[in-house]
């Protein structure tokens, strides 16, 4: 007897169709990110994306400069303009120049920061004794990107501004600014060194005379280096017994005497000092005494004893005593600015007429 299997076949067909339907199910499309129309347009046009604009550094420019002087200080007000896009940072500097354009003195005015495309006003007040203006013809203002004005390029970070010592613009034919060459052996003589104690036990004064025996202007810094019994010490220990004194500028043939206070980093170390070197070099105490072109060594106790014997104990007021210094320049000091010229001069008797003197009775009787 034959059995009918049609129910089994129908079940197999239904299972097969269900498997086919489930395997053919389509995935839902994911939401796409929004497209930048500008990027699409640039991509279609073949134009590359713009790159960030590079910062451009340009020399700073001085303007609106005023100079105000008194016997010990100078006040400088000025505007710095930054025409570039990069920020300008560094130091502003002041240099004094002689009639030949040689630098006789230079120093930092103060730190500066000027954003690109802007300007700013600065006001600096610095110590600058009147004696530094003796041979000054012009003043130079400039900036540096670092922190040291001495030896820096005048035009590296700014357009230097040249002024007369009165603050007026310098003439266009003024000599170009330059620095004297380094001091060489035999160009400067150091003599008359005297050391004495001041009012306090750790206060010492030093007097010395410099003579420029060369045919050119010379700039050099004076350093005092002290030595203990053991001179073979490290540089760090040697620096504790050293003191940078003033930077001096002497014209050819000039002789001048200076008096300065010597201050060690630790004044209590004076008891260790048995001998001292006074030497000159362009970098002062940064140089080695034995390599200095001018150097003089003396015994501390002998120098103090000699000062006691010849009565050389001098106070601070003697440092500027004109009788003790050979003047470098014989030029008369500039007259004080009053805003008047020769045409403004007047005769007080014309401005304020005086009544005629009354006749003397005795003289009239004699005349009769």
Kindly report the CATH number assigned to the domain that includes residue 237: 2.60.40.10
Any bridge partners for residue 280, and if so which?
222, 294
Does residue 6 belong to any structural domain of this protein?
Answer: no
What distance in Å separates the CA atoms of residue 155 and residue 237, rounded to the nearest whole number?
38
Question: Is there a single domain that holds both residue 158 and residue 277?
Answer: no
What is the tally of structural domains in the chain? 2
Is residue 53 in some structural domain?
Answer: no
Residue 262 and residue 228 share a domain: yes
Task: State whether 102 and 202 are in the same domain.
Answer: no
Which helix (H) or strand (E) segment holds residue 185: the answer is: none
Q: Residue 351 has what pLDDT?
A: 38
Q: Write down the pLDDT at residue 11.
A: 57
| 13, part of any domain | no
Q: Which structural domain range is residue 221 located in? A: 188-324
- Final residue of a domain: which of 164, 199, 232? 164
148 and 235 inside one domain: no
Do 146 and 131 contact (CB within 8 A), yes or no?
Answer: no
Same domain for 146 and 215? no
Q: Which residues pair with 79 in a beta bridge?
A: 63, 121
So what's the pLDDT on residue 4? 52
Across the chain, which has 368 residues, the per-10-residue mean pLDDT values are: 51 53 50 54 61 85 93 93 96 95 94 97 91 83 94 94 90 93 95 88 90 96 90 70 92 95 86 93 88 95 88 49 42 39 40 47 42
| 119 lies in the same domain as 69 | yes
Whether 100 is in a domain gets the answer yes
Same domain, 195 and 141: no
Burial environment of residue 187 by CB neighbours within 10 A (0 to 12, 13 to 18, 19 or more):
buried
Based on the domain organization, do 155 and 195 belong to the same domain? Answer: no
Q: Is residue 180 part of a domain?
A: no
Q: Give this prediction's pTM.
A: 0.68
160 in the same domain as 196: no
Whether 192 and 320 map to the same domain: the answer is yes
In terms of domains, do 139 and 250 share one? no
């Amino acid at each position: 007897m034959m059995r009918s299997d049609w129910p089994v076949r129908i079940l197999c067909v239904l299972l097969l169709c269900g498997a086919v339907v489930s395997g053919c199910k389509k995935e839902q499309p994911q939401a796409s990110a929004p497209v930048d129309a500008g990027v699409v347009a640039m991509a279609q046009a073949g134009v590359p994306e713009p790159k960030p604009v590079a910062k451009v550094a340009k020399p700073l420019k001085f303007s609106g400069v005023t100079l105000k002087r008194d016997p010990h200080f100078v006040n400088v007000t000025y505007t710095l303009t930054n025409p570039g896009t990069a920020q300008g940072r560094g130091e502003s500097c002041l240099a004094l120049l002689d009639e030949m354009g040689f630098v006789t003195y230079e120093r930092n005015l103060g730190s500066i920061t000027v954003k690109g495309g802007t300007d700013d006003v600065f006001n600096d007040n610095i110590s600058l004794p009147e004696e530094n203006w003796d041979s000054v013809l012009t003043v130079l203002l400039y900036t540096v990107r670092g922190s040291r004005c001495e030896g820096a390029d005048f035009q590296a970070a700014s357009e230097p501004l040249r002024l007369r010592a009165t603050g007026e613009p310098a003439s266009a034919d003024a000599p170009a600014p330059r620095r004297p060459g380094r001091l060489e052996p035999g160009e400067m003589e150091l003599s008359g060194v005297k050391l004495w104690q001041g009012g306090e036990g750790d206060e010492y004064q030093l007097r010395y005379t410099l003579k420029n025996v060369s045919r050119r202007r010379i700039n050099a810094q004076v350093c005092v280096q002290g030595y203990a019994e053991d001179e073979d010490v490290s540089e760090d220990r040697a620096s504790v017994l050293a003191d940078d004194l003033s930077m001096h500028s002497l014209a050819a043939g000039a002789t001048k005497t200076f008096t300065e206070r010597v201050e060690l980093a630790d004044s209590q170390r004076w008891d260790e000092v048995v001998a001292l070197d006074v030497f000159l070099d362009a970098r002062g105490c940064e140089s080695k005494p034995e390599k200095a072109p001018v150097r003089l060594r003396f015994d501390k106790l002998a120098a103090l004893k000699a000062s006691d014997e010849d009565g050389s104990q001098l106070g601070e007021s003697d440092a500027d005593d004109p009788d003790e210094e050979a003047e470098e320049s014989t030029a008369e000091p500039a007259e004080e600015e009053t805003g008047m010229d020769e045409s403004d001069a007047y005769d007080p008797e014309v401005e304020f007429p005086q009544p005629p003197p009354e006749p003397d009775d005795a003289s009239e009787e004699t005349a009769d």
